[in-house]
Amino acid sequence: MRSLVLCLLFAASSAVAGEFAVLASGARMYVDRHEADAAKVRLYNSGGVVEMDASKIKGFEADDAVPAPVAPKPAVPDTPAMAAATPAPAPALTPRQLADAAADKYGLPRELVRSVMAAESGFLAEAVSPKGAIGLMQLMPETAHELGVDPNDPAQNVDGGARYLRDLLLKYEGGLRHALAAYNAGPAAVDRYNGIPPYPETINYVGRIERKLKQAAR
């Protein structure tokens, strides 16, 4: 499961190409750049910095795919006929479509983000937990503030939740069980117990999502 997540875990490249870190497990992870010394390697990307033992990385491969610049279209003044033909706004995306879009944006498996959303809110945008977690991905207000998103806006809520999940996967070096437990109980609890904390809610939460991912992989 860890190799699957790491293979799919990459950030969208900008106009300046980054590179792929090739891990000892054979997985490849997109990064903007890296720094290395004798024992440690630091991987930099839009989510921050992850430090790994040098023994966990086999090498690096250049990402040569640099998107060509798009020439701006010349402005055309509106006419009454054009204004009348302006299309109506696109309909709002469904929760599952929001999950898939955020998964693609942050290089996560679609089924993973959908499974977390199902476990968190049952795909209900108006869900609020007794502890105050909000929306489809059940962001706590302080977490939403740190991510710079409005938790009451479904699109921002899902984007922030997927980004937070991606950051947790990076923090735990692709350890899915650790990342899921941290999403549910907080990174401090996972770090305190050096793994899934002995909370029935968290144990059930991680197991439920793992079962859905295994079913989807069949």
- The residues that are catalytic are 120
3-state SS, one letter per residue, for 161-211: HHHHHHHHHHHCCCCHHHHHHHHHHCHHHHHHHCCCCCCHHHHHHHHHHHH
* The total number of structural domains that make up the chain: 2
Q: Is the dihedral of CA 179, 183, 184, 185 positive or negative?
A: positive
Query: Which mean pLDDT values do the consecutive 10-residue runs of the chain (218 residues) have?
Result: 45 49 67 82 72 80 58 59 60 94 96 97 96 97 97 98 97 96 97 97 97 90
Q: What is the pLDDT of residue 11?
A: 35
Same domain, 128 and 188: yes
Element spanning 62, H or E = strand 57-62
Q: What is the pLDDT of residue 57?
A: 81
Locus of tokens 């989807």: 216
Q: What is the pLDDT of residue 38?
A: 78
Q: What is the pLDDT of residue 105?
A: 96
Q: What is the pLDDT of residue 135?
A: 97
Q: Residue 178 sits in which domain range?
A: 95-217
Same domain, 124 and 191: yes
> What CATH number has the domain bearing residue 32?
2.30.30
Same domain, 121 and 203: yes
Q: What is the pLDDT of residue 68?
A: 47
> What CATH number has the domain bearing residue 190?
1.10.530.10
Q: What is the pLDDT of residue 66?
A: 45
